[in-house]
Amino acid sequence: MELQNTVKEALNALYHHPDDGVRMQADRWLQDFQRTIDAWQVADNLLHDASSNQETLIFCSQTLRSKVQRDFEELPSEAFRPLRDSLNTLLKTFHNGPPKVRTQISLAVAALAVHVPADDWGDGGLINWLRDEMNSHPEFIPSFLELLRVLPEEEFNYKIAARPDRRRQFEKELASAIDTALNILTACLNINELKEQVLEAFASWLRLRHRIPASTLSSHPLVLAALSSLNSEILSEASVNVISELIHYTAARNSGGVSSELALIQVIVPQVMSLKPQLRDPSKDEEDIKAIARLFSDMGDAYVELIATGSDESMLIVHALLEVASHPEFDIASMTFNFWHNLQMILTERESYLACGNETSIETEKTRRLQVFRSSYESLVSLVIFRVQYPLDYFDISMEDQRDFKQTRYAVADVLIDAALILGGEPTLKILYMKLVEGISHCGKDQNSDWRPAEAALYCIKAISDYVSDIEAEVMPQIMSLLPKLPHQPQLLQTVCLTIGAYSKWLDASSNGFSHLPTLIDILVRGMSTCEDSAAAAALAFRHICNDCKKKLCGSLDGLFQIYQTAVIGEGPFKVSAEDSLHLVEALSMVITELPSEHAKKALEAVCLPSVAQLQEMINQGPQVLGQKNARELTVHFDRLANIFRYVNHPEAVADAIQKLWPIFKAIFDVRAWDMRTMESLCRACKNAVRTSKRLMGVTIGAMLEEIQGLYGQHHQPCFLYLSSEVIKIFGSDPSCANYLKVLIESLFSHTACLLTKIQDFTSRPDIADDCFLLASRCIRYCPQLFFPSTVFPSLVDCAMIGITVQHREACNSILNFVSDIFDLSNSTNGESCLSIRDSVIIPRGPTITRILVACLTGALPSSRLETVTYALLALTRAYGLKALEWAKECVSLIPSTAVTELERTRFLQALSDAASGANMNGLVVPIDEISEVCRRNRTVQEIVQGALRPLDLNIVAVS
């Protein structure tokens, strides 16, 4: 009683106390209470207590449902029947509500049925028990119908802590009980006020897709009841759900597909088709229209393969879907978008026509079908264009509505791409061009004229750019001639700039494309000067043009430099942000790549100059001033240099530039090594220089590595590790660098191993762990002959064993991949020669590593990491065979039988045994996934398993 009163007081505080702190404390107490074994009895008592208020009833019904789902194993076996009877009484008590409580009690009974086999349930299993209860107590039928509705939905509810074997058995029990369930529902159809509830329950059973014969369903009273409701004045949501499920049912069968379900399809389709006139009925409310549109969309999605044949009957469905697509509400029209995409895939993929026989027949049939659907996709293009038009009140609507509008535009762009794949890029372009011309007629020179239709047409033209031929000569020249005549309204100008960028390949390849470039670049310059959005679009377009037309632009370098300098110095009218200016950096770098070597060096110096001059000026102010600078003042220049070194593909010129710049870089390394942001940006510039110059870097690479090796010991910046990672990739196999790299590896790894001595270190510095083990994996791949014999290899393995269970995703994955790479060493170049050294380190630690990996599999890491852990465990097994199996047997034997049965243990070990024999990994995943699921099925079991395996408490084996 005392605990019951405390629960009531806590609920009262949670819902009614004015102090937030008190409410949070009450919430925490209630959550902790729900995990106790006392929660069973307290929740049950309060639910049976007539004086409990609604808040108490809802909380206790949720608690009881959660306890049955997750903690059923806490109860002794003899508690099942009293619990079942109590829940049955509660179902009857709350047959008139509150609905939330009734639903939670129903879910608790359904969860109980998942846990308890039908034979142990008694009375022929739950469904038979339910039928008998309904016959004995017809006044409580609403509650029993609620239970019948939720029951099939719980089949795949993984919140229920049932073992996989029991879940499979429950699925079979449901399948065998389906006739009884449908008979119960049919009997309840006679009670008019329960019809909605009956149909909802029927829809729920249909979702199981069990093998109810289609011939039975085509004349089943439940199906006929749902179909007759479609024609009633008020369209029933439940009947729509039933018909929707029936449509999916006919398409989801394994025995012969849609063609074997024709009897049922012939009943459904005419009924749904009869609803088509209602799509335009002004008396119908939006919810009814949405329900009808959903049925047409479901038919399209389910029968798309039949529709793709282009028969007269299927075209009736296509015309109905075009009707839906024309609806002014986007939420309704967009229901069809998935159908148009799937239809396009079937019509254009060769695999769809293999049954036609030879190549000639395939091509003939493909041409015929594309012709049949041509007019439908032409109509579709015309129907969707207006949806991308800016609303008149766009600048007054909320940020969320503006985001929704952008999402609408992306969805329409995808539909236009589908249309272009059916019609061809050029025919689609012609339709859109006519819309553009029409839009421009509304578009005067002043900014207040209606620019929106022209912008919408241009947005659509941009969307299909990848599907228009680069040498299209009829429409594209006219479009490019129209662009300079458009007003410079900011949103329109932004789309104009993006369209120019989208057709950069056409500007390069077309016979008269280059003649348009000067005026188009003038438009981009105007875009850079108008507003931030148009400037961002113009900078991106500039990058596309320089990338695709770079050979033609080599002669215009002076003009391009002028635009570049105005943007990066930031003193002109341009509104290009520092981030968007990187597009201009990349643009000029791509053009420089096309220059002859001697000209490229000078151009490279010129493009670096604005950043170099600013950096030199900061250095000249002395170390104290340099140390106090805001990181952004430095990183903006290093980001630009990083992009220059990445995109100027002249290794010698870049090597020459980095050699000249090294004194500046060194000065900043020496003064700002404490500053992570500056170091990351500087290291990125160095990494890109290394990647482009490769072995031409000469002495500079030595100075660079010496610098970061010295600074890493003091400042532990992770970016020093990823810069070293790039060096290892390029120089790792070079014998002349071996001594130098060996010293680098040992220095970096020994410092890191000292930093990461306990799991808390990994949690507080996951970035270091991530980059350290990425570097280690690179060493295994590119220089195993240096890495494995080094003194740091054993300590790095020990370090990995400590940190594998870190919860940080990237750091954890890097450690697991490193461990897998060790086990897969024989796949690496030169790896075979290091196997004996590897084994001398791994075998003594094998039992511990295996135990940690099994602990990760069974709950120490989130289930999202399961695939990576599984791979590591199977790689270990493949590498060490019978030894690994012995290690695995030893550690799974530690897990108590209350958590894992002998059969589950055996299946898991058999999967590992198969892996050791070289079996395909794909076939071994299920038993490994299942032991993971079993050990995570609830908090108590997970704690038992982790308490037995103790991954964080294991003693690391010291190896002399």
C-alpha distances in angstroms, 327 versus 290, 333, 403, 410, 645? 10, 5, 21, 18, 52
Kindly indicate the confidence band of residue 747, based on its pLDDT and cuts at 50, 70 and 90: very high
The average confidence (pLDDT) of the chain is 92
pTM, full prediction: 0.88
Tokens of 875: 């790689």
For residue 948, pLDDT over 90 is answered with yes
Predicted local distance difference test score (pLDDT) of residue 254: 57
For residue 50, pLDDT over 50 is answered with yes
Average pLDDT value for residue range 749-768: 95
| Maximal C-alpha separation, the chain | 97
The owner of tokens 């001398």 is 840
Tokens of 611: 């950043």
Contact 451, 491 (CB under 8 A): yes
Q: For the chain, what percent of residues have pLDDT higher than 70? A: 97
Predicted local distance difference test score (pLDDT) of residue 625: 94
> How far apart (Å, rounded) are the C-alpha atoms in residues 468 and 428?
9
Cα angle at 804 between 800 and 806, to 5 degrees? Answer: 125
Contact 232, 274 (CB under 8 A): no
Predicted local distance difference test score (pLDDT) of residue 444: 64
Predicted local distance difference test score (pLDDT) of residue 230: 83
The owner of tokens 């000026």 is 617
Predicted local distance difference test score (pLDDT) of residue 610: 92
Average pLDDT value for residue range 325-348: 96
Of 835, 741, 839, 842, the residue nearest 800 (C-alpha): 842
Residue 98: cis peptide before it, omega within 30 degrees of 0:
yes
For residue 256, pLDDT over 60 is answered with no
Q: Which residues contact 455 (CB under 8 A, 6 or more apart)?
A: 389, 390, 439, 489, 491, 492, 495
Angle between helices 939-949 and 925-935 (to 10 degrees): 110
For residue 817, pLDDT over 60 is answered with yes
Provide the Cα torsion 357, 360, 363, 365; round to 10°: -60
Give the model confidence (pLDDT) of 917-928 as tens digits: 988 877 788 999
Overall residue count recorded for the chain in this entry: 960
Predicted local distance difference test score (pLDDT) of residue 445: 57
Can you give the residue ranges of every domain in the chain?
A: 1-68, 76-210, 212-324, 349-468, 469-591, 595-715, 844-959
Helix (H, G, I), strand (E, B) or coil at 477: helix
More confident residue, 257 or 810: 810
For residue 43, pLDDT over 50 is answered with yes
Kindly indicate the confidence band of residue 467, based on its pLDDT and cuts at 50, 70 and 90: very high
For residue 280, pLDDT over 50 is answered with yes
Q: Which residues of 265-302 are buried (b: 16+ CB within 10 A; e: fewer)?
A: bebbbebbbebbeebeeeebeeebbbbbbbbbbbbbbb
Kindly indicate the confidence band of residue 957, based on its pLDDT and cuts at 50, 70 and 90: very low
Average pLDDT value for residue range 508-519: 89
3-state per-residue secondary structure call for 173-221: HHHHHHHHHHHHHHHHCCCHHHHHHHHHHHHHHHCCCCCCCHHHHHCCH
Q: In this structure, is the dihedral angle defined by the CA atoms of residues 596, 599, 602 and 605, taken in order, positive or negative?
A: negative
More confident residue, 845 or 236: 845
Q: Establish how many alpha carbons lie within 13 A of residue 125's alpha carbon, considering only the half-sphere containing its beta carbon.
A: 18
More confident residue, 696 or 445: 696
Predicted local distance difference test score (pLDDT) of residue 959: 38
The owner of tokens 């002794």 is 76
Predicted local distance difference test score (pLDDT) of residue 943: 93
For residue 387, pLDDT over 90 is answered with yes
Average pLDDT value for residue range 435-439: 93
Q: What are phi and psi of 893, to 5 degrees?
A: -70, -20
Of 122, 96, 104, the residue nearest 44 (C-alpha): 104
Segment among 322-326, 520-524, 552-556, 873-877 with least mean pLDDT: 552-556
Strands (E), 472-575: none
Helix (H, G, I), strand (E, B) or coil at 388: helix
Predicted local distance difference test score (pLDDT) of residue 253: 57
> How far apart (Å, rounded) are the C-alpha atoms in residues 755 and 715?
11
Predicted local distance difference test score (pLDDT) of residue 960: 32
Give the model confidence (pLDDT) of 79-89 as tens digits: 999 999 999 99
